[in-house]
Chains A and B, each alone.
Chain A
């Protein structure tokens, strides 16, 4: 577990989302795939957002994507993040389709003044409990 994760809240543990966190602990970024229409959905939900079928399977993605938006938080909105500011948050377009927000692994604060939009990123997994990890993103070399 990396130092800067210790103070953060744990992911809410619900049966619907647990596979996402446990797969992350095994080094995989998984999403739900509708077994009727094939749509990959994120965040997890009880039905396909395209065809409403409840039938699904968890499938691993590459964990790679491109930064669509790069924000730098200078304001801390919770105590858990007070020691982190300024920190980067990125909206990532995963190669397989889904999008998500994540923070960026940046121990040297190298990206605070940078613009990461368009940069390639890759998921890394930050263990927060024995069988749970939170995916974050590492900026890949250009």
Chain B
């Protein structure tokens, strides 16, 4: 079955981001859903598919689709909820695309909302199952990426100043995005002066913690052509997961990402040279280096050198996270990376637009470095 370019993201919606006291994940999700419908020029009754990711403060867990569907008045043909952390957004959009391509749904809403900021969520999960790593104080999302950064530094000579380049680029892009939470530009020295969280990661290596809601609407390319906005075709999709941790020697290097990217490039029939702009999942700065290496923008171990000299800033060879990313726009666990990808493809990003962007790579990664996906969006 030919999948490439058969489906598209036809509508995107994002609420205000940041600290939103008094809001709930449910009402933020509904608002994002309404915004996405309006963006696409669709009505609620056009939706026959619903895929959701429960926020960290949503009590429903994997039953979240039930509560959201009830609140939104939806009785879809195709539904479910998934929890893969920062991998979920891309994985759900890809699932929606597969359902549309297979004829099991015609218009699928993918929804996420969270109030992690006002809810005081710490992202303190520990892996290890019955021998929890927390027994030794090894917990929190930062720690897993700190292993990746520490190993990368020892193996390839990557430096903290190189990690800083990622934070600086994301913040610069956020300064051009009126909806970003952190808009004050920073320097490499600011990064180096920020406090340790889990060495070798500093405060400015870390993503934000945010409230907000996001919705993406997936439909067939054919139908998307007749809607309100230019479609962002889903040209390439790939997923891969390393579910083992300690038993997999290079777990920290997230080797599965290579497979997810390879599949996405292959499906879209493009190469890294064709990518005009990229939204690379940045829970921590080190993650961007790993994506750049795994995608083939540079060689293994060369991510640190690649991000120097403004190469991933607007105007550089490969602008990355043009809305500010998880590090500076808002921590919507990668959902806003897809929104920005769509907006770049549509050419509606104003001062942060990459001129003539035709292909945008969007990636997602979640859990203890375990789960990854890559999506390539294409302008028709």
Q: Which residues of chain A are near B135, meaning CB under 8 Å?
A: 8-9, 11, 134
In the complex, A14→B128 CA distance in Å?
14
Residue with the greatest number of chain B CB neighbours at <10 A, chosen from A70, A91, A134? A91
Question: Closest residue to A43 on the B side, CB-wise?
Answer: B131
Q: Do residues B246 and A99 form an inter-chain contact, with CB atoms below 8 A? A: yes
Q: Which residues of chain B are near A87, meaning CB under 8 Å?
A: 137
Given known A-B contacts A74-B195, A98-B246, A103 and B131 have beta carbons under 8 A apart: no
Query: B134 within 8 Å of A by Cβ?
Result: yes
In the complex, A30→B175 CA distance in Å?
54
Query: A122 within 8 Å of B by Cβ?
Result: no
Distance between B159 CB and nearest chain A CB, rounded to angstroms: 14
Query: B69 within 8 Å of A by Cβ?
Result: no
Q: Which residues of chain A are near B138, meaning CB under 8 Å?
A: 71, 89, 101, 103
Contact of B137 among A12, A20, A81 (CB under 8 A): A81
Q: Do residues B140 and A75 form an inter-chain contact, with CB atoms below 8 A? A: yes
Query: A62 within 8 Å of B by Cβ?
Result: no
Q: Which residues of chain A are near B129, meaning CB under 8 Å?
A: 43
Q: B-facing mask of A10-40, CB < 8 A → 1, else 0?
A: 0110101100100000000000000000000
Given known A-B contacts A42-B247, A43-B246, A71 and B131 have beta carbons under 8 A apart: no
Q: Do residues A71 and B147 form an inter-chain contact, with CB atoms below 8 A? A: yes
Q: Do residues A78 and B134 form an inter-chain contact, with CB atoms below 8 A? A: yes
In the complex, A14→B137 CA distance in Å?
20
Contact of B198 among A73, A91, A98 (CB under 8 A): A73
Categorize the interface residue count of chain A.
Answer: 35 or more
Contact of A17 among B131, B146, B195 (CB under 8 A): B131
Query: B122 within 8 Å of A by Cβ?
Result: yes
Q: Which residues of chain B are near A49, meaning CB under 8 Å?
A: 244, 247
In the complex, A78→B122 CA distance in Å?
9
Query: A63 within 8 Å of B by Cβ?
Result: no
Q: Which residues of chain A are near B195, meaning CB under 8 Å?
A: 74
Q: Do residues A103 and B136 form an inter-chain contact, with CB atoms below 8 A? A: yes
Question: Closest residue to B206 on the A side, CB-wise?
Answer: A75
In the complex, A95→B72 CA distance in Å?
56
Query: B132 within 8 Å of A by Cβ?
Result: yes
In the complex, A41→B131 CA distance in Å?
13
Q: Which residues of chain A are near B139, meaning CB under 8 Å?
A: 77-78
Question: Closest residue to A15 on the B side, CB-wise?
Answer: B130
Q: Which residues of chain B are near A71, meaning CB under 8 Å?
A: 138, 143, 146-147, 150, 198-200
Contact of A43 among B130, B154, B198 (CB under 8 A): B130
Q: Do residues B147 and A91 form an inter-chain contact, with CB atoms below 8 A? A: yes
Q: Which residues of chain B are near A16, meaning CB under 8 Å?
A: 130
Contact of B150 among A14, A73, A117 (CB under 8 A): A117
In the complex, A10→B379 CA distance in Å?
55
Residue with the greatest number of chain A CB neighbours at <10 A, chosen from B124, B131, B139, B150? B131
Q: Do residues A73 and B143 form an inter-chain contact, with CB atoms below 8 A? A: yes
Distance between B131 CB and nearest chain A CB, rounded to angstroms: 4
Q: Do residues B130 and A100 form an inter-chain contact, with CB atoms below 8 A? A: no
Distance between B158 CB and nearest chain A CB, rounded to angstroms: 14
Question: Closest residue to A101 on the B side, CB-wise?
Answer: B138
Q: Do residues A9 and B134 form an inter-chain contact, with CB atoms below 8 A? A: yes
Question: Closest residue to A137 on the B side, CB-wise?
Answer: B136
Q: Which residues of chain A are near B124, meaning CB under 8 Å?
A: 77-78
Q: Do residues A86 and B196 form an inter-chain contact, with CB atoms below 8 A? A: yes
Query: A119 within 8 Å of B by Cβ?
Result: no
Q: Which residues of chain B are near A101, meaning CB under 8 Å?
A: 128, 133, 136, 138, 246
Within 8 A of A (CB), among B123-182: 124, 128-140, 142-143, 146-147, 150-151, 154
Distance between B140 CB and nearest chain A CB, rounded to angstroms: 4
Within 8 A of A (CB), among B26-67: none
Q: Which residues of chain B are near A14, meaning CB under 8 Å?
A: 130
Within 8 A of B (CB), among A51-86: 68-75, 77-78, 81, 84, 86
Taking A69-B150, A71-B146, A75-B142 as given, write out 6 further A-B residue pairs in contact, using a Cβ cutoff of 8 Å, ordered by the A residue number.
Answer: A71-B200, A72-B198, A77-B134, A81-B137, A86-B199, A98-B247
Q: List 10 A-B contacts (CB under 8 A).
A: A42-B131, A43-B246, A49-B247, A69-B252, A71-B199, A71-B200, A73-B143, A75-B197, A77-B122, A99-B247
